[in-house]
Amino acid sequence: MKRPARIRVLGKQFVVSFVTSDAAGLRDSPDDNDPGMGRCDPETQSIFIREGQPIESEQDTVLHEVLHAVENAMGLEVDEERVTRLATGLLAVIRDNPGFVRYLATKGKK
């Protein structure tokens, strides 16, 4: 499976990098409040994802960081726990409904 190198978020292109923790300023000692598995930097339009996660966790982390990008672009204030829950819930819906995802991704005719 090919990892995303770029993700467009509300018209902005974010570069996605899969890195070691020290390369992106991720926490060296993850804890329950900040597992340090990813980071979104809206100013540089960068998303950093910690290498070495199982694929399911990695996908959850990517979606989590994309939600932070959306949150920032829309001027929302969503706490970390809610972003975590939304990412996990949306990922479950995406995985369980590939036809629904194709439907959402279909653009109307111009």
Is the model more confident about 109 or about 99? 99
The verdict on residue 66 lying in a domain is yes
The verdict on residue 85 lying in a domain is yes
Whether residue 108 is predicted with pLDDT greater than 90 in this model: the reply is no
Whether residue 26 is predicted with pLDDT greater than 90 in this model: the reply is no
pLDDT at position 54 is 95
The tally of domains found in the chain comes to 1
The verdict on residue 36 lying in a domain is yes
The verdict on residue 94 lying in a domain is yes
The answer to whether residues 49 and 20 touch, using CB atoms and an 8 Å cutoff, is: no
Determine which of 1-5, 27-31, 40-44, 55-59 has the lowest per-residue pLDDT on average. Answer: 27-31
Residue 16 bridge partners (DSSP): 47
Structural domain range at position 12:
6-105
Q: The domain spanning residue 39 has which CATH number?
A: 1.10.10
Residue 40 bridge partners (DSSP): 47
pLDDT at position 27 is 62
The verdict on residue 1 lying in a domain is no
The verdict on residue 110 lying in a domain is no
DSSP letters for 57-85: HHHHHHHHHHHHHHHHHTT----HHHHHH
The verdict on residue 27 lying in a domain is yes
